[in-house]
Chains A and B, each alone.
Chain A
Amino acid sequence: MDCTIGFTLNGKKVCVTTDPIRRLIDVLRDDFGLKGVKEGCSEGECGACSILFNGKMVTSCIIPVGAADGQDIMTIEGVSATERGQVIVQAFADGGAVQCGYCIPGMVIAAYYLLSNNPNPTEEEIRLGISGNICRCTGYDLIVESIKLAAERGGKLWKK
């Protein structure tokens, strides 16, 4: 049975009337046109569909939209429009983090989540921070380097 579900999406109050057990990824992509949220595995393994859910990184392919009621959701579209998000985007572009790009919106979310909670991560912490995001192209090294670059460039921006 359809319900009306209201939440904050990329800073704006939205509501949608739909079946609450639909996957959040489908609602974000199909109802709100947020195509930057990518589907890679449909089971929460690859991280391509990562979003921020009340500030925490989650995979939107295994969350029913009903769980979003009253919550705060940020997708890549929202994150990349922020100053912090742009620091990551530019660092990824300069650092060679991007190849086929399909995992990259999720990687940007992971980097954003990591740096927001740990402004000066070690290499080990960066690797742990993106370990839920699978990339088949890069072997991860240049993504890790790019996140280091974003930490440096962002400086104080990452401190709360």
Chain B
Amino acid sequence: MVVGDISKAVRRVDAVSKCEGTIQYISDYSFEDCLWGRLVRSSIPRGNIKEIHLPPMPEGYRFITYKDIPEGGRNHLHMIATDWKCFAETEVRYVGETIGIMVGPDKDTVERLREAVVVDYEELTPAVTIDEGLECKGGAFLNKDNIHCRLKLEVGDVDKAFAKADRIVTETLETGFQEHIYLETNGCCCIPEGDRYVIYSSAQCPFYISKSVSPILGITPDKVIVRQTTTGGAFGGKEHFPDVLAGPVILAAYVMKKGVKMFFDREEDIENSVKRHPSKVVFKTALDKDGNILAMDSKVCYNVGGYLASSFVVLQRGCFHVTGCYSFPNIRTEGLGVATNTFPSCAFRGFGAPQTLFAVETHMCHIAEMLGKDPLEYKRKYFIKQGDTTSTNGKIIERVMIPEMLEQVMKASDYERKSREYKWGSGRGIGISFYNHGGAFTGNGEQAIIKAKCRLHKFADGTVEILCGQTEMGQGFHTILPKIAAHVLEIPMEKVIFKDPDTSRVPDSGPTAASRSTMIVGELVERAARLMKPRYDKEEDFTVETNYEHPEGYPWDQSTFQGYAYLGYGWGVCAVEVEVDPCTAEITTKGIWSSHDCGHLIDERIVHGQVNGGVIQGLGWGSTEVMQNFEGHFRQTSLSDYIIPTSMDFPKQGVFFVENPYEWGPFGAKGMGELVFNGSAAAYIDAVSKAIGKRISSIPLPTEDVMTYMLHGTDIRAALEEVR
């Protein structure tokens, strides 16, 4: 029987089968009688396909392109926007763009044939970086200005504040690509069954796939059944990206009238998958004579790549988070999604928020250091509170416990003493960052777009099945959701079944994304269980259903981006301590401490694991994870040259929480999966910057760059450039 506090850790339901290697990931299925598929892709970043030369094709092998799309079908993938094509037709916009799929019965022969395809191109000059995109290098390839999307926000009167300012300082902060490196690479299989197609996929959002690829065959989404297979990590990289595999695979299954399977190896997966958006944020901040902030103006540019897909929503979230955990009287934000000839960027844990949070945290430090003030004391004055206005003219609804969290982190890290003793440039430094993450879809999106529903079914033997579209990808949802249901029903967790979703038998409860699963779907399950409870002992076989209901009184206008962007935020404080070797510039991280407000914890150990993993992934993004794109080609294509943290790179973390139950979440829980990524990079850069006494404005920061900063960097106290 589940008793007591729901936060008390339980064993994950999938732990033993994962340890023993018996759980099946997609590449562990045999999918007998299926053909093999491999994609033929663009080898150039920008140009036009003139001709495709095929090798002699043995019987049973076929090269499939957009020309094979049946009448009534459309050559696009539906990922919020519908601009990303399933197959290139004439124009290619990035290296790796799908041109066709080679299919046939023997894996090696398919590979040999794929390699023998020759594509003649008319090559054009690519724009790869944000600046090149904005300059329309080689001529604009999108609209007249290479701008995929833009938005503007204003709170207060920025121009008036600027006119009154003593000085206006400007600074540019940049972040790089980040590759997800889910340990399990992508894979997909599609099997025709009558007039329907069954897709097996390692994916976060099975319903997204049905919706995205059914138009290719001109059929309705219910004819495309998606069954999620055990997913070995995702982090956003399997949110929309599985559509890029599923599109060609479903068309191939249609053409060949046979099942088709396709798996990526690591090199193929790194070279040809979505990444975190590189960013460039330009701040103009108005200060009075005492250095107080009167207004902050920011221009937020994200490198979107060749197609828009989901990037406008990423950019929106980035812009909404650009003031971080601070309240400023006047705020102006302009967001630009820049078209470039790189692989389209897409979802990655944080979904646009980490970039602007890194920028604002670092900018705040730099203003303080320029003024000769302690960055923490400077930031403290602006901490946002309940009732304060957000960057979208909404209010913060909940209590903000940053002061309490800060106290926990300062105490655990001995922050005050270290901050006093470690002089700037002394080789030792301790940094701190503040961050948040708006839970679930923006504004009224949960109500207007997602319309989540969830069902619970009770069987005669007393077992209860949870029916929803949420996926387990490592975050623990197969444990969390049954735990919520069992807790309400007061039955053992073993009596609650929750399987990998099959879109033909579960209702669409929305994507497993946006830190919404526990917060939104967990709440639906809690409510469903409460409806079921009085009937549980009396009735044998019945179903209850719940639908999402948005609380009244928190308006949002999606056309102007004004109002309550989020009903609840997760909040975080992270401190990082480093030591720098004066000869080699090697950095040793001596300590990491964080405190998070995730409402009430559904399972403290699962949340602890999320914190550990998110913080380290953020530190990787801030330090070693260099992913360069040279003339349209990613330079790092393996785990030998794209360096993610190992067990040796960072020490054991101090992990703390505050209790702050969320009114509309299950048992008071809020979203937290992305929050825990959002702040560690800024704390790390703050620490390194203080240790070496130099200003650092971009990440990642691999060791080799630390030496450059030490030798040639700008002093940490230097004045920021002034504009008028």
Contacts and interface: CB of A to CB of B under 8 A. Distances in A.
**Is B a genuine binding partner of A?**
yes
Interface of A: 34-43, 45-46, 48, 75-77, 80, 88-90, 92-94, 96-105, 108, 123, 126-128, 130-131, 133-144
Given A100-B232, A128-B648, A141 B653 contact: yes
13 contacts: A38-B183, A40-B639, A43-B638, A46-B266, A77-B21, A93-B12, A99-B476, A100-B183, A101-B232, A126-B647, A131-B646, A135-B183, A139-B617
A42 B21 contact: no
B648 A136 contact: no
B296 to A, nearest CB: 33
B613 interface: yes
B616 A140 contact: yes
A149 to B, nearest CB: 13
A103 B181 CA distance: 12
A99 to B, nearest CB: 4
A93 B648 contact: no
Given A36-B21, A88-B19, A89-B19, 12 more contacts: A40-B266, A45-B638, A93-B11, A93-B19, A96-B9, A101-B14, A102-B183, A135-B183, A137-B609, A139-B614, A139-B615, A144-B647
Among A90, A97, A102, A143, which residue has the most Cβ atoms of chain B within 10 A? A102
Contacts of B605: 96, 142
A144 B652 contact: yes
Interface of B: 9, 11-12, 14-25, 27-28, 180-185, 230-235, 265-267, 473-476, 605-606, 608-609, 611-617, 638-640, 644-648, 650, 652-653
A136 B608 contact: no
A98 B14 contact: yes
Contacts of B266: 40-43, 46
Contacts of B20: 36, 76-77, 80, 89, 105
A74 B184 CA distance: 22
Nearest to B605: A96
The CB with the most chain A CB atoms within 10 A, among B20, B232, B475, B615, is that of B20
Interface centre among A37, A80, A108, A141 (most CB of B within 10 A): A141
B21 A38 contact: yes
Nearest to A132: B646
Contact of A46 (B21, B23, B476, B639): B639
B640 A136 contact: no
Contact of B647 (A35, A36, A88, A130): A130
A142 B230 CA distance: 21
Contacts of B24: 35
B639 A102 contact: no
A130 B12 CA distance: 22
A41 B267 CA distance: 8
B648 A131 contact: yes
A65 to B, nearest CB: 17
Nearest to B19: A89
A142 B24 CA distance: 23
Nearest to B604: A96
B15 A98 contact: yes
Contacts of B183: 38, 40, 46, 48, 100, 102-103, 134-137
Nearest to B655: A141
Contacts of B613: 99, 136-139
A139 B650 contact: yes
Contacts of A139: 609, 611-617, 645, 650, 653
Contacts of B25: 38, 102
Nearest to A48: B183
Contacts of B609: 96, 99, 137-139, 142
Contact of B474 (A48, A101, A126, A144): A101
Given A139-B616, A143-B647, A45 B639 contact: yes
A97 B605 CA distance: 10
Contacts of B230: 101
Contacts of B639: 40-41, 43, 45-46, 134
A100 B473 contact: yes
Contacts of B231: 100
A1 B263 CA distance: 27
B612 A140 contact: yes
A142 B612 contact: yes
Contacts of A88: 19
Contacts of A133: 647
A45 B183 CA distance: 12
Most chain-A CB neighbours within 10 Å: which of B9, B21, B27, B614?
Answer: B21
A4 B419 CA distance: 66
Nearest to B15: A93
B638 A41 contact: yes
The 8 A-B residue pairs with the shortest CB-CB distance, nearest first, are A36-B21, A100-B474, A101-B18, A102-B232, A139-B612, A139-B616, A93-B15, A102-B183
Contacts of A34: 21
A131 B19 CA distance: 18
Nearest to B680: A139
A112 B195 CA distance: 50
